Structure 1
Amino acid sequence: MASNTNKRGTHAELVAMTALLAAGYEVAEPVAAETYDLVAKEPGTGEWRTFQVKTLRYRDDKGGAGGYYVLNGTRNNGETYEPGAVDYMIGVLGNVCYLVECTGQSEYWAAADAIDGKWRKLTVSMNEAEAV
């Protein structure tokens, strides 16, 4: 039986695939285990890109007026995902995904009130994806 962590990860990947499809990407999964979770062809350029999918976490311990969303940039062994191995990180928050260029950071942070301006928002709805 799959653990809750595995189920949460699978759910996040399915939401990310749906959001990428709604945004016009072609999406595929690697058959063998890879550094990335998904590959997808960009609708504008036709280039294949690699994506690592993570569930976003909310934190409010940084002080200031509001909280932050955190995208974990590390593997289970603590190593960071590096550019070249992964092109983009996808942070999943419910039915919304945020596309973040992989720069090799251990964590990517966005203020809760500024997340839509900092990271590219993808939704699972075709109508919403066309509007974003």
Structure 2
Amino acid sequence: MAHLTEVVGKYSELIARAALMASGWEAISKAETEEPFDISARDPGTGAWCTFQVKTIAIRDDRNGELKVNGRKGNGKPYIKSDADYFIGVLVGGGNGPKAWMFENRGITEYWGPQSGEGKRWIEMDLDFKREDFAENNETEAV
């Protein structure tokens, strides 16, 4: 049986991929080889390829329930921009279903959020897949 940490991590990756898909990101894929990022995808607006490191969010009860994402690799060093462009933090548990936020990798060891301000903003990702958004695009492309 898999260790709980592994199960939660894999679940968070699945939620992150679903959130990217529901947000219109394209060609979402998981690396087949060991890479510093978990997911790559193409931005629907610019067509640029981006990489994502997925982390499960910790709730800090000792800090008024603030949300924290660990920005460290296994060796204790922070992920740098060449490792991953963005983080996707996934909040699991609590009975209200998962939530996901995307934020820019700034090369630091801890991210606290959601916060506002340039370079610190966590953007909540919509997990509600809306068929009509995709049906409209597909009908336009078929013409």
TM-score class, shorter-chain normalisation, is: 0.7 to 0.9
Bigger radius of gyration among the two: 2
Q: 36-45 or 70-79, which moves further after superposition?
A: 70-79
Measured in 2, the distance between the counterparts of 1:35 and 1:22 equals 24
Describe the SS at the equivalent of 1:126: coil
Measured in 2, the distance between the counterparts of 1:78 and 1:35 equals 13
TM-score, normalisation: structure 1: 0.85
Describe the SS at the equivalent of 2:62: coil
TM-score, normalisation: structure 2: 0.79
State the match for 1:21 in structure 2. Answer: 21
- Equivalenced residues, count: 121
Describe the SS at the equivalent of 2:73: coil
In structure 2, list runs of 5 or more residues that go unmatched. 93-97, 134-143
Measured in 2, the distance between the counterparts of 1:105 and 1:39 equals 21
Q: Offset of 1:85 from its aligned partner?
A: 1.6
State the match for 1:97 in structure 2. Answer: 100
> What are the within-5 Å matches in structure 2 for residues 1-132 of structure 1?
1-26=1-26, 27-62=28-63, 66-94=64-92, 95-110=98-113, 115=114, 118-127=121-130
Please give the root-mean-square deviation of Cα atoms over the aligned residues, in Å.
Answer: 1.6
Measured in 2, the distance between the counterparts of 1:17 and 1:51 equals 10
Q: Offset of 1:116 from its aligned partner?
A: 7.1
In structure 1, list runs of 5 or more residues that go unmatched. none
Q: Offset of 1:124 from its aligned partner?
A: 1.8
Identical-residue share of aligned pairs (%): 39
